[in-house]
Structure 1
Amino acid sequence: MLARAAAHDASNLVEPEKSAFDLLLPRLRGVPYGSAGFRAVEAEMAEAIAHHHAANSHHPEHYGNRGIAGMDLFDLVEMVCDWMAAAERRPEDGVRLDINAAQFGIAPQLESIIANTLARWPRG
């Protein structure tokens, strides 16, 4: 896990991701997660996002049609940590597990486990 943490999302520090993320990520601050505005910014970053998903196994999209079912526990832990970090862009939204569960087809039992984990996570 420590090695994964050190390499986490390293692909967004090099092209073809870096310039897109540098330009568009600041535009996501203050935009509600899952909103039309959020999706519009995502659409502008589609190429960089596709590269990012292909390079990072903690994204369900990395596994194509298998999605979450292709992941292991390391991927799941890293995915939840990623969601928490992304939620810091708009703290009032927090982690929108409802949106993510619907988007990625997360089964109710796993959704409950993730919700329990988020509830226990210490807040800074």
Structure 2
Amino acid sequence: MDTPFDSTADTLRHSLRVAELMGEPIKELIDRSTQHDLSKTREPELSTYDQCVPRLHEATYGTAEYAAVVAAMGEGLRHHYAHNRHHPEHFPDGINGMTLVDLVEMLADWKAAAERGGDGDLARALQINRERFGITAQLMDILTNTAHRYRWLNADEGR
């Protein structure tokens, strides 16, 4: 009589391999969490941010006033985009050039920026950025689902 196959060992090997593979982006996320935006603390970015951040705090994201401040940031902002892959502007093809890790950092950055701006409305920022960066419906759903998962949307308060 044949002994039935026990898949436990095979499943455990597979589970360990998935854990090993998941460790790579997890390590990258941890590294990025401690390095996020540090280029803003050195030239050529520091003086630009020293001059413009107070004006950005006073402007509402997505308005002409906000866009004018961003345009005035010039070389400091171009340097920031060139050295920080969590910005769609880093890539010639925008969001399409990004990885999942880039997207997670980008979404966290958008949430923190929304909080810094006063209203904390990530949902509003997502709608503006959907148009600004040509975010597809599917990716928009994923970003919104992620924001809901971590209660990053104002609508999630009290849930």
Whether the TM-score (by the shorter chain) exceeds 0.5 is yes
Alignment partner of 2:55 out of 13, 24, 27: 27
The answer to whether the 8 Å contact 2:111/2:120 transfers is no
Please, what TM-score do these two structures have when normalized by structure 2? 0.73
In structure 1, C-alpha distance between the alignment counterparts of 2:120 and 2:32, rounded to whole Å: 27
Alignment partner of 1:113 out of 132, 137, 142: 142
Percent identity over the alignment? 47
* Deviating 4+ runs (over 6 angstroms): none
Q: Mark the structure with the bigger radius of gyration.
A: 2
Please, what TM-score do these two structures have when normalized by structure 1? 0.92
Unmatched 5+ stretches in structure 1? none
Unmatched 5+ stretches in structure 2? 1-28
Q: Does 1:72 align with 2:92?
A: no
Q: Does 1:62 align with 2:71?
A: no
In structure 1, C-alpha distance between the alignment counterparts of 2:50 and 2:114, rounded to whole Å: 18
Q: Which has the higher contact order (CA 8 A, sep 6+)?
A: 1
Q: What is the CA distance between 1:89 and its match in structure 2? A: 2.1
Q: Which residue of 1 aligns with 2:33?
A: 5
The Cα offsets for residues 25-49 of structure 1, whole Å up to 9 and x where unpaired, read as: 1111131101011011101102111
The answer to whether the 8 Å contact 1:30/1:89 transfers is no
Alignment partner of 1:50 out of 64, 78, 81: 78
In structure 1, C-alpha distance between the alignment counterparts of 2:114 and 2:102, rounded to whole Å: 18
